């Protein structure tokens, strides 16, 4: 290599060293300065005189101690630390803060010829970020520990607990230090429900008001309301979950639901009494007429004034009266039979096998007073003979509440409409019951909240806001199915109940 090329390479190397983002100081075995790049001078705000006069590492160190370290003891301690690695020829790595607020990371590396290469990296921004992260974590922990509900953070990859606040500790009866680092699956009564919950968050993002059954440390299950959001914790995906124990709320809801059940049975009895009164009255009138005519016939017979025409008229009236009485008594018996079946199911909650269509006919017969009052018509169509091994009382309650809701809200006073119950088989072991009306439809703001307890658009007008919530609870709980509501573009509202052919067993 000729001299010109060699000089060119040396100039290129010197330029590269001076333009490094890191400061570089190269020392020989006696700690004399071999090279200081431009970045090193800049990092220490080195004056021109120091650049001209500095010959050894001690010159640089003295200037640093004089301008950036306060107090003789601190200076002596820093000097000893800085020289220790050089004297022992061990690699060093430490940080030092300058008086201008800059923080440098210093690395000292022994060289084969006995010298040293020391690099200086500005880590001020990194330190600021670390401080901000620590402050954020401190703030988060403070807020989390004062929150009125449990907060748990888990890693997404292995479900290990990262954070467990004090309320969660009380909720699960576990101290945080025994939980962090362990699998959070232990807190779920049903692992499949947890998998569905995680999948819901992964697919839809933040989730609110997700009901779940969790387990305390002693294995006792309790109902909880979960809200969750995917987050990033220390560059790793995590899940932050808020947990609220809703045991008291569930007990209150169950009490109100039972009261609503009894009120529904009361309305059923009142409606039946009104409905049965008409056929019984008709039967009584026919029987009274027949009795009066029979007494008149008897009198004529005893007096010897009975004529053939009179006898024929009597028998014609008797036949007509008997037909009227029988028809009306049958109608009353049918009403009583439907009432007996439906009320016994609702009150006793017995499991049995039913044919869906005929059972819905019985349920609708008990609703006849409400249907007639609203001026609407209700029909059952589709696969009427599909058999369900289920809890008929729960089904009757759900259907009655949905139909009653449609009668109360779907149709204007002067425009009665139609409600149709359509039965159809689903692929697999299931059936779909669609309850559709041709009414005014349902605003989106109402549809989103329609199954929530105590939600009603008729507060103060007798609406409790529990009817559709009870329907939702019995369909998703007792009947083991799913329920949803849609508003078709052509108008009206459709409630869809997807039910298994065999309902789950009752919980012990």
367 and 479: one domain? yes
Say how far apart CA 306 and CA 300 lie, in whole Å.
5
Residue 151 sits in a domain whose CATH number is 3.30.450.20
Domain identity same for 386 and 507: yes
DSSP letter string over 123-187? -HHHHHHHHHHHHHHHHHHHHHHHSSSEEEEEETTT-BEEEE-HHHHHHHT--GGGTTTSBGGGG
Which of 201, 224, 245 lies at the terminal end of a domain, its last residue? 245
Q: Where are the alpha helices (H) located in 349-493, listed in sequence order?
A: 356-366, 368-374, 392-409, 444-447, 467-476
pLDDT digits (tens, 9 = 90+) for 49-67: 988 888 999 998 888 888 8
In terms of domains, do 383 and 494 share one? yes
Residues 6+ apart with CB under 8 A from 49: none
Q: Are residues 275 and 308 in the same domain?
A: yes
| Paired strand residues for 425 | 431
At residue 294, the pLDDT reads 85
Give me the pLDDT at residue 496, please: 95
Q: What is the CA radius of gyration of the chain?
A: 43
For position 436, which CATH number holds? 3.30.565.10
Helices of type H across 304-419: 308-348, 356-366, 368-374, 392-409
Query: Residue 108 is encoded by which pair of tokens?
Result: 């000292």
Same-domain check for residues 233 and 217: yes
Q: Check residue 266 and give its pLDDT.
A: 65
Q: Is the same domain home to 64 and 103?
A: yes
Which of 218, 245, 272 terminates a domain? The answer is 245
Strand partners, 103: 97
Domain boundary among 286, 321, 343: 343
Q: Which helix (H) or strand (E) holds 106?
A: strand 103-110
Q: What is the largest CA-CA distance in the chain?
A: 162
pLDDT (0 to 100) of residue 508: 44
Query: Which of helix, strand or coil describes residue 261?
Result: helix
- Strands 103-110 and 207-215, how do they pair? unpaired
Q: Are residues 207 and 272 in the same domain?
A: no
pTM of the full predicted structure? 0.48
Same domain flag for 420 and 465: yes
**What is the number of domains present in the chain?**
4
Give buried/exposed letters for 390-416 (b at 16+ CB in 10 A, else e).
Answer: bbbbbbbbbbbbbbbbbbbbbbeeeeb
Looking at residue 418, its pLDDT comes to 93
Structural domain including 300 reads: 253-343
Residues 356 and 486 in one domain: yes
Cβ neighbors of 58 (< 8 A, separation 6 or more) are 31
Asked if residue 353 and residue 332 are part of one domain, the reply reads: no
Nearest in space to 155 (alpha carbons), one of 60, 59, 251, 233: 233
Based on the fold, state whether residues 112 and 146 are members of the same structural domain. no
User: Cα separations (Å) of 138 from 51, 131, 145?
Assistant: 44, 10, 11
Residues 321 and 228 in one domain: no
Query: Which three-class secondary structure state does DSSP give residue 265?
Result: helix
Tens-digit pLDDT string for the chain (508 aa): 455 555 566 677 777 777 788 899 999 999 999 989 988 888 888 888 988 888 999 998 888 888 887 788 888 888 888 888 888 888 988 888 877 778 889 899 999 888 899 999 989 888 888 888 788 777 777 777 777 788 888 888 888 888 888 888 888 888 877 888 888 888 898 888 888 888 888 877 888 888 889 999 888 999 999 988 888 887 888 888 989 998 888 787 777 666 766 666 665 566 666 667 777 777 788 788 888 888 888 888 888 887 888 888 888 888 887 887 777 777 777 666 656 555 555 555 678 899 999 999 988 887 887 888 888 999 999 999 999 999 888 898 889 889 988 988 888 877 788 999 999 999 888 999 999 999 888 888 888 888 887 777 765 555 566 778 888 888 988 899 999 999 998 889 999 999 999 998 875 4
């Amino acid at each position: 290599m000729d001299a010109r090329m060699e000089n060119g390479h040396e100039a290129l190397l010197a330029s590269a060293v001076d333009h490094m983002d890191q400061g570089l100081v190269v020392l020989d075995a006696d700690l004399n300065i071999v090279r200081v790049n431009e970045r090193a001078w800049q990092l220490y705000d080195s004056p021109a005189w120091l650049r001209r006069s500095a010959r050894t590492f001690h010159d640089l160190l003295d200037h640093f101690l004089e301008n950036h370290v306060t107090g003789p003891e601190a200076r002596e301690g820093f000097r000893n630390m800085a020289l220790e690695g050089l004297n022992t020829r061990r690699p060093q790595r430490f940080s030092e803060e300058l008086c201008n607020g800059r923080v440098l990371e210093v690395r000292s590396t022994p060289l084969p010829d006995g010298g040293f290469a020391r690099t200086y990296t500005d880590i001020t921004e990194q330190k600021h970020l670390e401080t901000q992260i620590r402050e954020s974590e401190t703030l988060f922990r403070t807020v989390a520990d004062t929150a009125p509900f449990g907060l748990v953070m888990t890693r997404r990859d292995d479900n290990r607990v990262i954070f467990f606040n004090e309320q969660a500790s009380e909720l699960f009866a576990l101290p945080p230090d025994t939980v962090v680092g362990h699998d959070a699956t232990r807190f779920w009564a049903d692992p499949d429900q947890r998998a569905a919950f995680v999948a819901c968050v992964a697919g839809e993002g933040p989730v609110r008001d997700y009901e779940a059954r969790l387990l305390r440390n002693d294995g006792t299950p309790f109902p909880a309301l979960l809200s969750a959001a995917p987050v990033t914790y220390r560059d790793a995906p995590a899940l932050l979950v808020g947990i609220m124990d809703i045991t008291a709320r569930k007990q209150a809801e169950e009490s109100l639901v039972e009261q609503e059940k009894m009120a529904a049975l009361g309305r059923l009895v009142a409606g039946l009494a009104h409905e049965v009164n008409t056929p019984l009255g008709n039967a009584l009138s026919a029987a009274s007429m027949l009795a009066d005519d029979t007494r008149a016939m008897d009198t004529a017979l005893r007096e010897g004034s009975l004529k053939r025409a009179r006898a024929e008229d009597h028998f014609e009236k008797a036949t007509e009266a008997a037909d009227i009485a029988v028809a009306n008594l049958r109608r009353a018996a049918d009403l009583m039979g439907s009432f007996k079946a439906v009320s016994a199911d609702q009150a006793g909650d017995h499991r049995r096998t039913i044919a869906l269509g005929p059972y819905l006919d019985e349920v609708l017969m008990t609703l006849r007073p409400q249907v007639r009052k609203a001026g609407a018509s209700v029909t059952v169509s589709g696969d009427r003979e599909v058999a369900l091994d289920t809890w008929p009382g729960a089904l009757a309650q759900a259907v009655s509440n949905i139909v009653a809701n449609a009668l109360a809200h779907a149709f204007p006073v002067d425009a009665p409409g139609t409600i149709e119950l359509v039965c159809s088989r689903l692929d697999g072991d299931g059936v779909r019951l669609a309850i559709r009306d041709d009414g005014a439809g349902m605003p989106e703001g109402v549809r989103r909240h329609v199954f929530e307890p105590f939600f009603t658009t008729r507060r103060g007008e007798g609406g409790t806001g529990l009817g559709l919530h009870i329907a939702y609870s019995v369909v998703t709980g007792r009947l083991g199915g799913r329920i949803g509501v849609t508003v078709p573009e052509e108008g009206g509202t459709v409630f869809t109940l997807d039910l298994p052919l065999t309902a789950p067993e009752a919980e012990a």
